[in-house]
A and B are shown apart, each in its own frame.
Chain A
Amino acid sequence: MNPFVLSRTVVSLAALLSVAQDDLTMLTTVTAGLTLAFAVIRGAKPCARQIGATLLMVLPLFLVHGVVNPTFTQSTSFYGIPWRVDGASYAALISFRMALLFVAVGIWGGLPRSVTLALLANSRIPTSAGLALMQSLLMSRVIARRVASIRLAQKSRGALGEGRLVRKAAGAVAMVVPLIATTIIDAHERGHALTRMGVGATRFLPPHSLPRPDLADAALALAVVVSVVAIIEGGFVRAHY
């Protein structure tokens, strides 16, 4: 699918999340469908990574509400561990909502960076705000690389705080303060250089142009959105009337 159409479809699906109500069957169906779509579009590996990230939040949910939370009455016990069925269904409901969000973000996150930047440049948000967002996306990678090199330098001279929390915190401060100061000074110098070059004096022209969606892509995107609306509305109607 055309990445432009794909991104718009994902945004529409994410907007539909707000419609999702308390129906487990409906949420399960939608999540399973979207996960399948994600696996087909982006491949099995990114899909597995996203499922792993979701499980990191889902497992504590079941532990907290299915076992610990005394608000839900204990239904049974399993080898002496209390089990609360109401709490587990509540955890399942929250889990599916989260899984839906993770899948939507995963599909969006898999878009090529050039398409993301082109979308920002061609969106209706003010040019300067779009420019700031584009720069921050790119800068965050530069800072992450800088973090890695500072950590490597600290490790090589044995100054990396590992192990106890106090040592870890001291190591983090030793790393973070120069990192922040360097980032700000760099930004100051870059801003100064760009102003000298005349950036900001004229209207910003987006460097990328978006591909125009063809009819088949648009029809497919519309079909996906309509199917999800139908499933959500169907589930909502079944649950409430």
Chain B
Amino acid sequence: MNTRVNVMIASLIALNLAMSKVAATLSLPVYLDSVGTILAAAMLPWWAVLFVGSATSILAGFVVHPAFFYYVGTQLTIALIAIWAVRFGAFRQLWTATLSGAVIAVAAALVSAPVTVLAFGGVTLGGTTAINAVLLAAGQNVWQSVLGGSLIVEGLDKVAACLLSAIVLRRLPSAMLARFSSK
């Protein structure tokens, strides 16, 4: 593995871990643990993006919260869609980045909802549980409420992550991006 790519992989995983801690510290209703994965899609080869996604889940299970172990599939889904979005130049403009965020959010919600229901009985981190409880009290079953809650939270989180990534990519030196380009 190229040393430069290796160091960048490590930094992006660490960024994911640190960002999820920042979100928890500021009590934001988002996770922000996929910014590094989305940036990796714009800067690194596809295998490195998948590595960043899966390693984030595993390490976050130890460093942030044990529940993260179960969401490896969600991180891999985010990585795959982000790679696809980068190939279509989705992070060049803010509105296309927002659209990519929405697509990633729907996919992430669909993948993570079964894990949330089967492994955690519908209770996860942060504000999602409160939304799920409100939907349950409104008469929906666990699956419907978890999916509804995940769509709301993931929608906020992934759109924010994609917008942040697009803003950061604009601020980085172009020579650096060209060196790391996945194309």
Please tell me if the beta carbons of A135 and B7 are within 8 angstroms of each other in the complex: yes
Please tell me if the beta carbons of A64 and B123 are within 8 angstroms of each other in the complex: yes
Question: In the assembled complex, how far is the CB of residue A174 from the closest CB belonging to chain B, in whole angstroms?
Answer: 11
> Contacts A64-B132, A143-B18, A180-B35 given: A188-B141 contact, CB under 8 Å?
no
Please tell me if the beta carbons of B62 and A194 are within 8 angstroms of each other in the complex: no
Please tell me if the beta carbons of B10 and A65 are within 8 angstroms of each other in the complex: no
The segment from A35-43, A55-63, A205-213 that touches chain B is A55-63
Question: When the two chains form the complex, which single residue of A64, A138, A192 contacts B121, counting CB atoms closer than 8 Å?
Answer: A64
**Distance of A109 Cα from B169 Cα, bound (Å):** 34
- Chain B residues near A61 (CB, 8 Å)? 120-121, 123
Interface of A is mostly: helix
Please tell me if the beta carbons of B28 and A172 are within 8 angstroms of each other in the complex: yes
- Chain B residues near A131 (CB, 8 Å)? 6, 10
**Distance of A220 Cα from B136 Cα, bound (Å):** 47
**Distance of A97 Cα from B119 Cα, bound (Å):** 9
**Distance of A142 Cα from B13 Cα, bound (Å):** 13
Let me know if A16 is at the binding interface, CB within 8 A.
no
Q: How many residues of B contact A (CB 8 A)?
A: 62
Please tell me if the beta carbons of A128 and B18 are within 8 angstroms of each other in the complex: no
Contact bitstring B111-137, A, C-beta under 8 A = 1, else 0: 000000001111100000100110011
Please tell me if the beta carbons of A188 and B22 are within 8 angstroms of each other in the complex: no
Give A168's nearest chain B residue, CB to CB.
Answer: B26
- Chain B residues near A64 (CB, 8 Å)? 121-123, 129, 132-133, 136
Please tell me if the beta carbons of B14 and A57 are within 8 angstroms of each other in the complex: no
Let me know if A153 is at the binding interface, CB within 8 A.
no
Within 8 A of B (CB), among A129-188: 129, 131-140, 142-144, 147, 165, 168-169, 171-173, 175-177, 179-181, 183-188
Number of CB contacts from chain A to chain B under 8 A = 182
- Chain A residues near B180 (CB, 8 Å)? 188
Question: In the assembled complex, how far is the CB of residue B50 from the closest CB belonging to chain A, in whole angstroms?
Answer: 12
Within 8 A of A (CB), among B77-114: none
Please tell me if the beta carbons of A98 and B120 are within 8 angstroms of each other in the complex: yes
Give A187's nearest chain B residue, CB to CB.
Answer: B11
The size class of the interface chain A forms with chain B is 35 or more
> Contacts A139-B10, A177-B164, A188-B176 given: A105-B66 contact, CB under 8 Å?
yes
Please tell me if the beta carbons of A181 and B171 are within 8 angstroms of each other in the complex: yes
- Chain B residues near A184 (CB, 8 Å)? 8, 11-12, 15, 39, 43, 168, 172, 176
Give A133's nearest chain B residue, CB to CB.
Answer: B55
A-B contact pairs, 17 of them (CB 8 A): A61-B120, A61-B123, A71-B141, A105-B62, A135-B6, A136-B59, A139-B11, A143-B18, A176-B164, A177-B168, A180-B15, A183-B11, A184-B11, A184-B172, A187-B8, A191-B6, A194-B3
Which B positions have Cβ atoms within 8 angstroms of A? 1-15, 17-19, 21-23, 25-29, 32, 35, 39, 43, 51, 55, 59, 61-63, 65-67, 69, 119-123, 129, 132-133, 136-137, 139, 141-142, 164, 167-168, 171-173, 176, 179-180
In the complex, besides A136-B10, A147-B22, A184-B11, 10 extra interface pairs with C-beta distance below 8 angstroms are: A57-B123, A64-B129, A65-B121, A98-B120, A140-B18, A147-B18, A177-B164, A188-B8, A190-B7, A192-B4
